[in-house]
Chain A
Amino acid sequence: EIVMTQSPAIVSVSPGERATLSCRASQSVFNNVAWYQQKPGQAPRLLIYAASTRAAGIPARFSGSGSGTEFTLTITSLQSEDFAVYHCQQYHNPRDLTFGGGTKVDVK
């Protein structure tokens, strides 16, 4: 099983500032990483796939980077609607899709 570890567990950011979220894979997953946003009581929303490709309708303030074992989701100029939990997921092994534990972005 490929273990995905996200850090930090919680990041406090002021509106308008930048948030940087990290995700580490236990082995190389090349660029086979997706990122999701999840708000309370809602299903996750796909933000990024292939480590850096934004999904349809996702604002440009969301960007993904990384390859191999280290990945980053950056949210520039945080808006009020961006305070949520963010999950990374690897699909390098499509027979064993795994997610990280999530990072909560809350208001500083």
Chain B
Amino acid sequence: QQQVKQSPQSLIVQKGGISIINCAYENTAFDYFPWYQQFPGKGPALLIAIRPDVSEKKEGRFTISFNKSAKQFSLHIMDSQPGDSATYFCAASREYGNKLVFGAGTILRVKS
């Protein structure tokens, strides 16, 4: 119940294309869903986060779509750029629980 399943493991997208990464969770107590971006040799950096009271959140080229009934959320990267090439982790946590449960990660490569 604590797992967050992330897919795909790796993704290759052409420059200008849309990158889509999906995550699914079991624990209905989760109420905070962040996405982290990690470049090689660096720590993860928060990209965007959503709470279950909204179905979509957009920040620049990055959009989270959230489906509470299906217990799924996804990251869309519009107009993908080579600089977006990184590993992306979805995560989930519950209020007062403090523990972030991470997905396995997706290695994104954007070809120029």
Q: Do A and B come from one complex?
A: no
Listed in ascending order, the chain B residues whose CB lies under 8 Å from chain A are none
A residues near B, CB below 8 A? none
